[in-house]
A and B are shown apart, each in its own frame.
Chain A
Amino acid sequence: QKEVEQNSGPLSVPEGAIASLNCTYSDRGSQSFFWYRQYSGKSPELIMSIYSNGDKEDGRFTAQLNKASQYVSLLIRDSQPSDSATYLCAVIGGNTGKLIFGQGTTLQVKP
């Protein structure tokens, strides 16, 4: 079992729709969770961090964390073509203290 798992996609949504990106992790002791966006040929950039159960909203982005289910998600409201990118979930392992990345989910927002 991978430490951080994501569906590689591609996830295709029409412009204006809600895109839902999901991530599961194996280390139950993990406390810190992050979403990075990576445009093709570019380096990852941090867009959201979340540490407590529940929702955290930042503009069109909402991160959701459920530690009991070991599940973290990212919702993008009013998706735009400029949101088309690969979204990487990253988790700081409770045992290792190391930031572990998932494989990433490719999002395509179609005009």
Chain B
Amino acid sequence: GAGVSQSPSNKVTEKGKDVELRCDPISGHTALYWYRQSLGQGLEFLIYFQGNSAPDKSGLPSDRFSAERTGGSVSTLTIQRTQQEDSAVYLCASSPDRSQETQYFGPGTRLLVL
């Protein structure tokens, strides 16, 4: 594809429900990153994939958050038992290699937990 795509673009859910957010990186990009951006805040690193493995999960805020990547391409970020503080924009980025230097961002998923 032409760029990183994410779905859904917007998600409204009730507290306690599970949500899945999807990221489709640029074709051929081996590295994939998930970030969270709360209103008026900077980007908070969540997790990094190199291929299908996640060498750095240090940013996941709690065990309610998990992510996987299959086939070295699409990634899914799952939030279980959502809380109101999970409301944010979840951004995915990909880069051609593990250097992290040139990251291309997707449009984000805006999550609102009521």
Contacts and interface: CB of A to CB of B under 8 A. Distances in A.
B102 A46 contact: yes
Contacts of B40: 8
Contacts of A97: 100
A89 to B, nearest CB: 9
Interface string A75-111: 0000000000000100010000111111110000000
Given A101-B43, A103-B42, A45 B100 contact: no
A46 B103 contact: yes
B96 interface: no
B45 A98 contact: yes
Interface in B73-114: 91, 100-108
Contacts of B105: 43-45
Interface of A: 8, 32, 34, 42-46, 49, 88, 92, 97-104
A9 to B, nearest CB: 11
Sorted from nearest, which 8 A-B pairs have the closest CB atoms? A43-B105, A103-B42, A101-B43, A101-B42, A99-B100, A44-B105, A43-B108, A43-B107
B62 interface: no
Given A43-B107, A97-B100, 5 more contacts: A34-B101, A49-B101, A49-B102, A101-B45, A102-B42
A45 B56 CA distance: 23
A99 B45 contact: yes
10 contacts: A34-B101, A42-B107, A43-B91, A43-B106, A45-B105, A49-B101, A88-B43, A97-B100, A99-B45, A102-B42
Contacts of A42: 107
A65 B48 CA distance: 27
Contact of B100 (A8, A43, A44, A98): A98
B70 interface: no
